[in-house]
Structure 1
Amino acid sequence: MVSLVLLLRQRGQLTAEALARELEVSTRTVLRDIEALSSSGVPVYAERGRHGGFALLPGFRTELTGLNHDEALALLTAGTSRALGLGPALASAMRKVADALPEKHRTTASDAAQRFLVEPETDLLSRRPVTEDVPETTMIEVRRAVLAGHKLRLHYAATGQAPQWRTVDPIGLVTVRDRIYLLATRAGEDRTYRLSRVLDAEDLPEPAERPSQVDLDGAWRERCARFLSSDHIAVLVRVHPARREELLSAAVAVRAEEPDAAGWSRLAVTFQDLRHAVWALWQLGLGAEALSPPSLREALRERAAAFAGRYEEPATRG
């Protein structure tokens, strides 16, 4: 009902159908809540007719003081985030923040926020980002265990393994480019789980064994360094500016970058293994050149030779 009032305050007159779509409820629920608001003294009234709807009389504002324009803009821009499955809650919170802003900030910050678009569905090359969906029920159970400090039971499908149940002590959640990771410990050992691979989750009543305070940023950096130092291949590659972003999106990590001749860049990158490196560099065609290791250059040479051999003779008809 609070969200309903805030929507009417910010957008003026709205139909029951429009309110239902915005709040993700049924029209019947909207009508019921409007009747409850009227009964409690909130001045909401109905405008009859083809272009009618519901509206509020002026009033009912508790201003949020102490925010400057840039702070208000940052909050409103953050409303585009979908992190950790809190998108609907964040959108509701942003409506409350916008409604509570002082008059001098509310209009300018709202107008300015329309000039920023964070993480659109496609980039300039018309590539849709690779997003990993996590079922809402799983996200709720994981988030509850993390915040409550409970043990968490996961049905997890690790790469190349059959799904298994395991009980962990959750530490925190990290989002990276629309991927969500759970940092946890299991039998005292550090573990990192990709939530898109969690098939089911259960928040257990038993307290988790974990410190009361955690440096999540430091823990994430440490695990990233450990991950990159094991079973990965380091590659030195020259890349054309037009193919640089493709290389970066395919690599596990970028260790260093410096300019090279003819406007190209020279990058030290990391791939999961030789097969991953061959696949990534092959996609870039003549827009990139692997300089090292020799095993990668040889693998690419063999693939190119086989490819050339396939097209050396005219196509056979059969």
Structure 2
Amino acid sequence: MRASRLVSILLLLQARGRMTARALADEFEVSIRTIYRDIDDLSASGVPVYADRGRDGGFQLLDGYTTRLTGMTPAEAESLFLSGLEGPAAALGLAESTAAARRKLLAALPSARRADASRVAARFHLDPVDWYRTASDLAFLPQLAAAVWGAERIRIRYESWSGIADRTLAPLGLVLKAGTWYLVAIGSSVPRTYRVDAIRALEATGERFERPTDFDLAVHWAASVRAFEASLYHGTARIRLSPLGMDRLSVLAAAAIAMARATASAPDAMGWVDAEIPIESTDHAARELLKLGTEVEVLEPVALRDAMRGIADALAARYGG
């Protein structure tokens, strides 16, 4: 365990440059004192690692030093082939590079492990596109990836729910979620999210920008998702569900499923339960609850109950003849 940590510290310093003792301790979930001992052992073994003191100090390797550690455990090698990212890599314009990297990795593995790694790649596959959907139009994705890598400003024509607008952006990262690609970029102020398939035109400006040093794409995305999901719902509805209705909850949004199950009362004599669900708007909630047919009854709010009655009356009039 400790030997593995020493190797990992060496590789981290090689990849990231200077790192503080606190950052290393957080990375490996150990104490700062343990990191100091590890650095001393690395230095004693001949690794040219040194410390800079002060507020901006930390540990780093001597300029020009690189390690040629090529040993990989079987699990590490197999996990790389398990990633299954050929589709996204191709969309980013990296299909040839990904294939070349796989070939080199196979060549570097011991012969006894090559068959295992190839078998993993042949038996597991990632398909990020949802059922009954085709992949989005990603014509601009390779250009966006190049702009992200090169920290280059772009001009786009973007179509949103409010119309089409021209914007100049500093692209910070790309995210693939549920089969849809999103661009995270700064316009005039804070980072915002743009669907890649809603971009109608793109032009590279040739102008570089400085990435915010404290920007973390994964942290930003997680916070954005939480904020977006919270902003969708503006109220709750109280409903009754039959036993079959409870079984068919999966047709609703994940937030509605979770709240309904968490708030469900004890079943009555007929097996029906009272529960609550979050709602975006009266119209949207009515459309969603129609998926449950006669296995649901809205109790509150009155506006939603009236909307369901109106839809039922319209259906009865249409099919009454």
* Same structural fold, with TM-score higher than 0.5 when normalized by the shorter chain: yes
Percent pairwise identity: 30
Task: From 64, 68, 73, give the equivalent of 1:68.
Answer: 73
Partner Cα separation in structure 2 for residue 108 and residue 83 of structure 1: 24
| Residue type of the alignment partner of 2:168 | T
| Residue type of the alignment partner of 1:150 | E
Is 1:184–1:190's contact at 8 Å kept on the other side of the alignment?
Answer: yes
After superposition, residues 260-299 of structure 1 pair within 5 angstroms as 260=264, 268-269=277-278, 271=280, 273-286=281-294, 293-299=301-307
Which is further off, 70-79 or 196-205? Answer: 70-79
Partner Cα separation in structure 2 for residue 234 and residue 65 of structure 1: 56
Task: Give 1:303 deviation, angstroms.
Answer: 0.6
Partner Cα separation in structure 1 for residue 255 and residue 203 of structure 2: 31
Residues 136-160 of structure 1: CA deviation (Å, up to 9, x unaligned): xx11221111111121111111114
2:174 is equivalent to residue 179 of structure 1:
no
Give the length in aligned residue pairs: 240
Residues 53-83 of structure 1: CA deviation (Å, up to 9, x unaligned): xxxxxxxxxxx94222222222112234422
**Match of 1:192, SS?**
strand
Change (3 A) 1:293 1:119: farther
| Residue type of the alignment partner of 1:68 | T
Paired position in structure 2 for 1:228: 229
Paired position in structure 2 for 1:108: 116
**Match of 2:213, SS?**
coil
Residues 165-184 of structure 1: CA deviation (Å, up to 9, x unaligned): 11012221111011111111
Task: From 247, 250, 254, give the equivalent of 2:252.
Answer: 247
Change (3 A) 1:99 1:72: same
Residues 13-47 of structure 1: CA deviation (Å, up to 9, x unaligned): xxxxxxxxxxxxxxxxxxxxxxxxxxxxxxxxxxx
| Residue type of the alignment partner of 1:305 | D
Paired position in structure 1 for 2:261: 258
Task: From 61, 82, 87, give the equivalent of 1:77.
Answer: 82
Partner Cα separation in structure 2 for residue 263 and residue 93 of structure 1: 57
Task: From 123, 127, 132, give the equivalent of 1:128.
Answer: 132
Paired position in structure 2 for 1:142: 144
Paired position in structure 1 for 2:16: none
Task: Give 1:242 deviation, angstroms.
Answer: 5.5
Gaps of 5+ in 2: 1-68
Partner Cα separation in structure 2 for residue 114 and residue 288 of structure 1: 45
Paired position in structure 1 for 2:215: 214
Is 1:154–1:166's contact at 8 Å kept on the other side of the alignment?
Answer: yes
Paired position in structure 1 for 2:317: 309
Partner Cα separation in structure 2 for residue 117 and residue 190 of structure 1: 33
Partner Cα separation in structure 1 for residue 208 and residue 111 of structure 2: 46
Is 1:144–1:203's contact at 8 Å kept on the other side of the alignment?
Answer: no
Partner Cα separation in structure 2 for residue 97 and residue 191 of structure 1: 37
Paired position in structure 2 for 1:155: 157
Is 1:235–1:268's contact at 8 Å kept on the other side of the alignment?
Answer: yes
Partner Cα separation in structure 1 for residue 132 and residue 256 of structure 2: 21
More helix by share: 2
Change (3 A) 1:106 1:223: same
Task: Give 1:288 deviation, angstroms.
Answer: 5.4
2:104 is equivalent to residue 99 of structure 1:
no
Is 1:156–1:166's contact at 8 Å kept on the other side of the alignment?
Answer: yes
Task: Give 1:307 deviation, angstroms.
Answer: 0.6
**Match of 1:258, SS?**
helix
Paired position in structure 1 for 2:202: 201
Residues 211-269 of structure 1: CA deviation (Å, up to 9, x unaligned): 13421122112222333344644455658465344323xx6887646365569996745
Gaps of 5+ in 1: 1-63
Task: From 127, 130, 136, give the equivalent of 1:119.
Answer: 127
